[in-house]
Amino acid sequence: MPKVIQATNLHRIYETEASYTYALRGVSLAVEKGEFLCIMGPSGSGKSTLMNILGCLDKPTHGSYKLEGLEISNLCDDDLAEIRATRLGFVFQSFNLLPRTTVMRNVMLPLIYSSISPREREIRAWKALHAVGLPEKYYDHKSNELSGGQVQRVAIARALVNNPAIILADEPTGNLDSNTGTMVLETFHTMREQGKTIVLITHDPEVAQWADRTVHIRDGKLLTDIQEQHFVANHNLREVHNT
């Protein structure tokens, strides 16, 4: 299978006047087209830094990152912005929709600065909303009139409207109750069945179970298979003690 993401020996070092902070320490990761990958790790583990690099919001200090075969690491800011607008879709925990704007207009927002005609924008937005299973009766509603699960579906549709290579989701169920979160995860699962590549960050093992594969990151490093076995075993042991 072709690799949509090929990250090799990624390092990210933040420099301050006082010291250096090593957020990533030699991370290597490959994601296949159509894969649903989950990245798990505690606070401060480096998972958000890794997600920012995969989303072209940041660049590694050292290492290689190829998106669909294109080397990203040395691109200028304008080129990175173009890639974010055309090849990546983002879904956030806080939704980031305009509350007093209709569902359709929220989904069309990523297309405003493109050369696509207004009619084509509407068609693409309708197709994206249909793909996430939101009933058409809500398309003219304002986003602040919807439930949490419906709003997150709109956010996923907005991420899909440019037909991106990858959907990046950062704790997408974090602000939702369990039933609504399940509905959103079912939407991601449907996207994966339709061939979309999904990379999701979460701290919740139940969310991770929806993915095809889960990797754990700690202290800026991806855990090896043996380390992951110990990590999962220790987590399960804590769960037993807490019940």
Lowest mean pLDDT among 171-175, 194-198, 208-212: 171-175
User: pTM for the complete prediction?
Assistant: 0.83
Go through the domains of the chain in sequence order and give each one's CATH number: 3-242 (3.40.50.300)
Q: What angle do CA 167, 49, 204 make, to 5 degrees?
A: 65
Strands 3-15 and 20-32: antiparallel
For the CA atoms of the chain, what is the radius of gyration?
19
Is 80 exceeded by the pLDDT of residue 190?
A: yes
Q: What are phi and psi of 90, to 5 degrees?
A: -115, 135
**Model pLDDT, residue 236:** 57
**Burial letters for 115-138: b for 16+ Cβ neighbours within 10 Å, e otherwise?**
ebeeeebbebbbebbebbebeeeb
Is 60 exceeded by the pLDDT of residue 22?
A: yes
pLDDT tens digits, one per residue of 93-108: 777 888 889 999 999 9
Question: In angstroms, rounded to a whole number, what is the distance separating the alpha carbons of residues 243 and 208?
Answer: 20
Question: In angstroms, rounded to a whole number, what is the distance separating the alpha carbons of residues 203 and 185?
Answer: 15
DSSP state of 102: B
Q: What is the dihedral of CA 40, 45, 46, 48, to 10 degrees?
A: 60
Question: In angstroms, rounded to a whole number, what is the distance separating the alpha carbons of residues 79 and 192?
Answer: 27
Percent of the chain with pLDDT over 90: 51
Residue 228: name the closest of 50, 32, 41 by CA. Answer: 41
pLDDT tens digits, one per residue of 141-174: 998 999 888 888 898 999 889 888 899 999 888 8
Is 80 exceeded by the pLDDT of residue 1?
A: no
pLDDT tens digits, one per residue of 47-66: 999 999 999 999 999 999 99
